[in-house]
């Protein structure tokens, strides 16, 4: 038997490439592309330092500028000393341009503020990190210390900053508004007390174009709180605005004479006056210092109180001081004042050629005196009043340390009390006890006289006399009454007397015209 031929194993033909493998390859390619694109679009990592992480949520809180997203918060951590919060923010390509040394970051949380009411939007959208890029040209930087409050001045807002010097800042704080003619034109950036002994420095920002209204002659005053007083017999309350009432405020004005002056440069320094009246007073360049001494109480009189002449303000009180003379044991209150001729005369420069002492002496000779008057009955505020006193005692105007000394007199309640004291002193000098004793003696003597005299007999005699007088008058009326002989004769006598008087008057007239008739008689014609 022959063996059958051996069978060759079958060989399968496999395809070297299958389209099935395209799917994972394409997926890998897409993933790689997206990864590279994400890495290409991913910006640098930003590190921010804040005092608290309130409102910050990793993966949700975003960095925004003008409502545009620049990055997202990735992680939150504590600093090594556990005093601060470190926030790591991944910026996008656009946000990478903001990472310079001039940039500032802060957290916008839900809050209500007159300064920045935009914080109310975060009640719905949540807190976000705000950024101000600052001026161009800063150095690259990736670590920043965040602000706890939004900055008062943004780099995209035109304007200038100025410095105000004040003794007290009152209720002013960062974000307090700055007003010009009741329009908010800026805000307070902050303040610096320095060493605590000198004036405080307050930095303000005024937006353009209102910053051009700040000139060397501009006047600034603190407009915080409420101003109350009696004006024209009515109680008057003045409030700058509700915002200034809550957060404080600064107001400035430009005198008309400074209309053509050039605007002040940035960081120019101005004094901040406590009230509008104080600022207006400082606007008068011509100041005439005078002083008066008072022996009565000056309670209620303060620095800045007005000086009035016939109801018109002519100056302010500048200083109060107690002066004690140990040699004469005389204690007086020294009141220094600054008179402002610009309130009365349209051209105060013309007063420079006038001798003030001579002119004031003329007024003093006519009775001008300085007294303390009541300016506000409700608050007890006192003012200085120049009054004209009739029949005033002679006084002289003297000079003391480049200031005129004007004579004074008590005024208001002090004058009334002084008059009452004078009357009381005169009453004390009357012999009241002696007068009373004499009156008692007179009454006793009268009582004794009435008790021993025949009063009834005297009264009867008086009654009989009155009856006799009445009968006499009736008899005269019958004898000399109407149509009697006496009345007819009396009428004739009166008629003849009138004729005689007429003849005498004619003779007198003739003699006044012809006096020579006394010697030569009446001339014949």
How much is the pLDDT for 458? 55
**Residue-wise pLDDT tens digits, 370-420:** 998 887 777 778 889 998 888 888 888 888 888 889 998 886 555 555 555
pLDDT tens figures, 116-154: 555 555 555 678 898 988 888 888 888 999 888 777 778
Which residues are within 8 A (CB) of 71 and not within 5 positions of it... i.e. 6 or more apart?
43, 46, 62, 63, 89, 90, 91, 92, 95
For the question of whether the overall pTM of this predicted structure is more than 0.85, the answer is no
Residue that wins the pLDDT comparison between 331 and 236: 331
| In the predicted structure, residue 182 carries a pLDDT above the cut 90 | no
pLDDT score at 335: 92
* Token pair belonging to 279: 């600022």
- 56-101 pLDDT, tens digit per residue, is 888 889 998 888 888 899 999 998 888 999 999 988 888 888 888 8
453: pLDDT strictly greater than 90:
no
Q: What is the pLDDT of residue 313?
A: 85
Number of H helices, E strands in the chain: 10, 24
Q: Per-residue pLDDT for 301 more than 60?
A: yes
Section 318-329 average pLDDT: 86
Q: How many CB atoms lie within 10 A of CB 109?
A: 15
Tell me: pLDDT of 460 over 70.
no
Distance in angstroms (rounded) separating the CA atoms of residues 204 and 221: 13
Q: Exposure pattern of 43-70 as b/e (b: 16+ CB <10 Å)?
A: beebebebeebebbeeeebbbbbeeeeb
273-282, 365-374, 482-491: which is most confident: 365-374
pLDDT of residue 86: 92
Least confident residue range of 24-28, 169-173, 219-223, 445-449: 445-449
Query: Does the pLDDT at position 242 exceed 70?
Result: no
The pLDDT of residue 87 is 92
């Amino acid at each position: 038997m022959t063996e059958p031929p051996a069978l060759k194993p079958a060989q399968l033909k496999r395809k070297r490439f299958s389209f099935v493998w395209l799917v994972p390859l394409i997926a890998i390619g897409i993933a790689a592309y997206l990864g590279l694109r994400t890495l290409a679009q991913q910006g640098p990592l930003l590190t921010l330092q804040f005092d608290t992480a309130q409102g910050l949520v990793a993966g949700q809180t975003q960095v925004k500028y003008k409502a545009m997203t620049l990055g997202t918060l990735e992680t939150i951590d504590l600093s090594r000393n556990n005093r601060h919060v470190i926030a790591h923010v991944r910026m996008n390509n656009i946000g990478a341009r903001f990472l310079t040394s001039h940039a500032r970051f802060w957290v916008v949380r839900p809050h209500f503020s007159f300064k920045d009411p935009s914080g109310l939007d975060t009640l719905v959208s949540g807190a976000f990190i705000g950024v101000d890029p600052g001026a161009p040209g800063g150095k690259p930087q990736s670590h920043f210390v965040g602000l706890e409050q939004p900055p008062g001045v943004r780099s995209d807002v035109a304007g200038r900053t100025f410095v105000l010097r004040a003794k007290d800042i009152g209720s002013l704080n960062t974000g307090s508004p700055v007003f010009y003619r009741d329009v908010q034109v800026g805000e307070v950036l902050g303040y610096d007390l320095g060493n605590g002994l000198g004036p405080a420095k307050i930095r303000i920002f005024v937006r353009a174009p209102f910053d051009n209204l700040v000139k060397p002659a501009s006047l600034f005053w603190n407009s915080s709180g409420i101003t109350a007083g009696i004006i024209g017999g009515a109680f008057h309350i003045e409030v700058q605005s509700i915002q200034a009432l809550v957060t404080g405020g600064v107001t400035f004005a430009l005198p008309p004479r400074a209309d053509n002056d050039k605007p002040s440069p940035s960081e120019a320094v101005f004094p901040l006056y406590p009230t509008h009246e104080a600022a207006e007073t400082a606007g008068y360049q011509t100041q005439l210092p005078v002083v008066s001494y008072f022996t009565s109480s000056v309670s209620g009189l303060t620095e800045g109180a007005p000086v009035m002449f016939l109801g018109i303000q002519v100056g302010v009180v500048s200083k109060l001081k107690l002066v004690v003379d140990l040699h004469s044991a005389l204690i007086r209150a020294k009141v220094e004042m600054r008179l402002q001729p610009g309130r009365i005369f349209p051209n105060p420069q013309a007063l420079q050629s006038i001798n003030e002492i001579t002119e004031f002496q003329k007024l003093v000779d006519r009775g001008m005196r300085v007294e303390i008057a009541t300016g506000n009955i409700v608050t007890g505020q006192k003012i200085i009043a120049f009054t004209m006193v009739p029949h005033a005692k002679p006084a002289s105007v003297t000079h003391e340390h480049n200031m005129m000394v004007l004579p004074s007199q008590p005024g208001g309640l002090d004058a009334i009390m002084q008059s009452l004291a004078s009357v009381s002193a005169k009453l004390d000098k009357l012999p009241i006890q002696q007068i009373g004793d004499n009156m008692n003696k007179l009454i006793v003597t009268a009582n004794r006289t009435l008790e021993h005299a025949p009063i009834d007999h005297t009264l009867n005699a008086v009654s009989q006399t009155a009856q006799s007088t009445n009968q006499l008058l009736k008899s005269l009326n019958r004898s000399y009454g109407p149509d009697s002989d006496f009345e007819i004769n009396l009428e004739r006598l009166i008629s003849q007397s009138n004729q005689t008087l007429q003849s005498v008057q004619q003779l007198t007239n003739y003699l006044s015209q012809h006096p020579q008739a006394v010697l030569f008689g009446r001339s014949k014609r």
